[in-house]
Structure 1
Amino acid sequence: MPCWSCRHPSPVRPRPPLARRARELGLAVGDLPTGPHDALTDVPGIRVGHTTLIRPPRVHSGVTAIVPDGVGPASPLPAGVFAGNGYGKLVGFTQIAELGAIETPILLTSTLSAFRVADALVGWVLERPEGADARSLNPVVGECNDGLLSDIRSRPVGEEHVRAALESASDGPVAEGSVGAGTGTTALGFKAGIGTSSRRLPLAGQEVTVGVLVQANFDGTLRVRGRTVTPADVGLPTPDSGPEAGSCMVVVATDAPLDARQLTRLARRAVYALARVGAAYGHGSGDYGLAFGTRPLGAPAGPAGLPDAELDSLFIAVLDAVEEAVLNSLLMSTATTGPGGDTRHPLPAAPLLALVG
């Protein structure tokens, strides 16, 4: 049975035929310009890698790695985290909240694979020069429940898959939809997955970039340009059942000179932005925002600090980028049938445009 390791550009798991991103369909969100790839990797020093596991009909899962250059126990990056609804297993949450820093790459995966992934991440960091002297380490691993479309109890993601995602991480375009940690996820009645977007804006006399990446797997009713969009509205069958459990991991990166408290404020906006696309924030939902800066803690370069009054434009950038990233996750995914016969379809472009113009 096939087991694919996806990288971008990938000869194994290409962009789905006819799939187009929101911006390519004229559904850009907001007025701010994007970076060259409209992706998290537009933030300098950020790389993304995926390992995608597909073993039909039972396994549709994987892992996604977000790798900031140089991050390690001796070179942490400022970070903030926010739980909109904390029914989730975000490994490393409490230390980020307490100390305002990350010291490893950020990995996303399936709920019951999160603990194996965290162990593999620890081993990978300890082997590297930046982890050579570490006697404590806080791995950061987020998750969504892909149990509707994958045999989650089999815990298919192993150490080799984690290492492949970390080692394949690259800058440039980011594969979206049914790849990596988004291979088996659903959202708003559709097949979802990984989505990404970015914004550029002037701030404190310089141009800064904000990038986001979402692992979308939450309940609710999709809203596009203020209009609700159900599967039936775009000619798809109405799902018989909802997600196994709703969740969304949103990761925000920026080169703006922010401290941990200010990054926590960005993380909150990342979760708030899900309401724009119709998130229900239900009881079983793990809705997390994690925001980090690429300027190492204590770095002397750049402004000493940014007044909070200047954060408004960054808040807008995050809200817009998260909304667009979720739309990308829905538009770029691939129809998937799970082991129980449940099928989820991507958001089809032509019927969507007919509804919302």
Structure 2
Amino acid sequence: MQTPRRVRDLGVTVGTLPPGPLNAITDVPGVRVGQTTISTGDLNTGVTAIVPDGYADGLPAAVAVGNGYGKLVGSSQVDELGVIETPVLLTGTLSVFRVADALLTWLLDRDPKATSLNPVVGETNDGHLSDIRRRPITPEHVHAALDSASTDLPAEGCVGAGTGTEALGFKAGIGTASRTLDSGTIGVLVQANFSGTLTVLGTPIPAQPVPAQSDPAQPVDGDGNSCMIVVATDLPLDARQLGRVARRAVFAMGRVGSDFGPGSGDYAIAFTTNRRSAFVDRQLRGPFQATTESVEEALLNSLTMATTTTGFRGRTAHAVPHDLIRLR
């Protein structure tokens, strides 16, 4: 057994820009995160809620689709209007609709005059380690994640929407990171669940073969199974510029070894808490770099903070050995 540790604590420094105080999405002022975890034998799933201040008045936002084999509820209205008007929630694939409905209930309870709301909920498939057909997420799980949202360092690894996820041949989960610029902060949270060969600072670390699973029809790695990336900032970017930032977030998956498999739904949603829209495009080099560095580190954190997990039908996903990371 090994103690979960963030990749920076293992001696791996990603990029050159400085992280924020927590090195997390919650370094962005006004952004909170709450999570609910279900880990009981055959069930390994949960909810992760990203709750920005001011969402009810609409915040500039954009979505980038690397591969559309997934479900991001509410994305078409974000594309059309360039705003989010709710928190962003993440969960397992078959629970995404229950989570969206529970989020809607939570929002309506807080706004008795609302007649139209666009809940934004993303997912990845945790069906290898969790009995996904049971759809165990209840409104109470969703509301608990929302109500507990705080500006603390979010838990990483096998928590919330990352409880049952795997990436790059290893157990993965939730990861977060941030970078600071003179003009503001970029923060990222990921739900990692995709295929490829783990790559740390350019060096591949292939997963070693493991004993046959009790259900050989369900491979550990499969054809992808998706990644959700949430990018938050307080920079004064408009929706079009946030779309450019979101695309760089998806690109950054390649830096850790994603093969962008055909069965993978890879999405990024970027939003800002700043409505001034004062940037011009030639100023985007810094935000682009901050985004790619943050995503790369958050994805690595999702792996090094995860623990070996045995779940549905006795299937096991193994944590990446930290000694392999320390050697990079």
Asked if TM exceeds 0.5, the reply is: yes
| CA distance in 2: counterparts of 1:138 and 1:248, whole angstroms | 21
Note the C-alpha offset of 1:255: 0.3
Please name the residue that 2:8 is paired with: 23
Q: Residue by residue, what CA displacement relative to the aligned partner does 1:219-275 show, whole Å, maximum 9, x if unpaired?
A: 11111121110222xxx7377623465200000000000000000111100000000
Counterparts of residues 51-70 of structure 1 (less than 5 Å): 51-56=36-41, 58-70=42-54
Q: Aligned pair 1:71/2:55, yes or no? A: yes
Which letter maps to 2:87? P
Distance 2:79 2:225 in 1: 23
Which residue of structure 1 lines up, in the alignment, with residue 166 of structure 2? 186
What residue identity is the alignment partner of 2:97?
A: F
- State the SS of the aligned residue for 2:312: coil
The correspondence for 2:225, drawn from 246, 268, 271, is: 246
Which residues in structure 2 correspond to 1:213-228 (within 5 Å)? 213-228=189-204
1:104 is the counterpart of 2:86 = yes
User: Cα offset for 1:308?
Assistant: 0.1
Check if 1:134 corresponds to 2:117: no
* Amino-acid identity (%): 58
Q: Write out aligned runs for 1:1-357 (5 A).
A: 18-56=3-41, 58-72=42-56, 75-128=57-110, 131-202=111-182, 207-232=183-208, 237=210, 241-243=219-221, 245-296=224-275, 305-354=278-327, 356=328
Q: TM-score, normalised by structure 1?
A: 0.88
CA drift of 1:87 comes to 0.4
Q: SS of 2:313's equivalent?
A: coil
Q: Distance in 1 between matches of 2:155 and 2:123?
A: 18
**Per-residue deviation, 1:349:** 1.2
Return the alpha-carbon distance in structure 1 between the equivalents of residues 99 and 68 of structure 2: 20
Distance 2:239 2:198 in 1: 32
Counterpart-to-counterpart distance in 2, 1:17 and 1:168: 28
How many angstroms does 1:338 deviate by?
Answer: 2.3
Q: CA RMSD in A?
A: 1.4
CA distances 1:105-155 after superposition (whole Å, capped 9, x unpaired): 000000000000000000001111xx3321111000000000000000000
- Asked if structure 2 preserves the Cα contact closer than 8 Å seen for 1:148 and 1:243, the reply is no
TM superposition score normalised by structure 2: 0.95
Offset, 1:285: 0.5
8 Å Cα contact 2:194/2:221 also seen in 1: yes
Quick one: distance in 2 between partners of 1:226 and 1:17? 24
Long gaps (5+) in structure 2: 214-218
Q: Would the alpha carbon gap of residues 21 and 277 (structure 1) be closer, same or farther in structure 2, given more than 3 Å must change?
A: same
Q: Is the 8 A contact 1:239 1:344 kept in 2?
A: no
Partner of 2:216: none
2:66 partner amino acid:
G
Give the C-alpha shift of residue 24 in structure 1.
1.1
Question: What SS does the aligned partner of 2:94 have?
Answer: helix
Q: Distance in 1 between matches of 2:23 and 2:92?
A: 25
How many Å separate the matches in 1 of 2:324 and 2:281?
42
Q: Is the 8 A contact 1:189 1:239 kept in 2?
A: no
> Structure 1 residues 327 and 321 mapped into 2: Cα distance closer, same or farther (>3 Å)?
same
Q: Quote how far apart the aligned CAs of 1:346 are.
A: 1.4
Count of matched residue positions in the alignment of Structure 1 and Structure 2: 322
Code of the aligned partner of 1:90: L
Structure 2 SS opposite 1:333: coil
Distance 2:186 2:212 in 1: 35
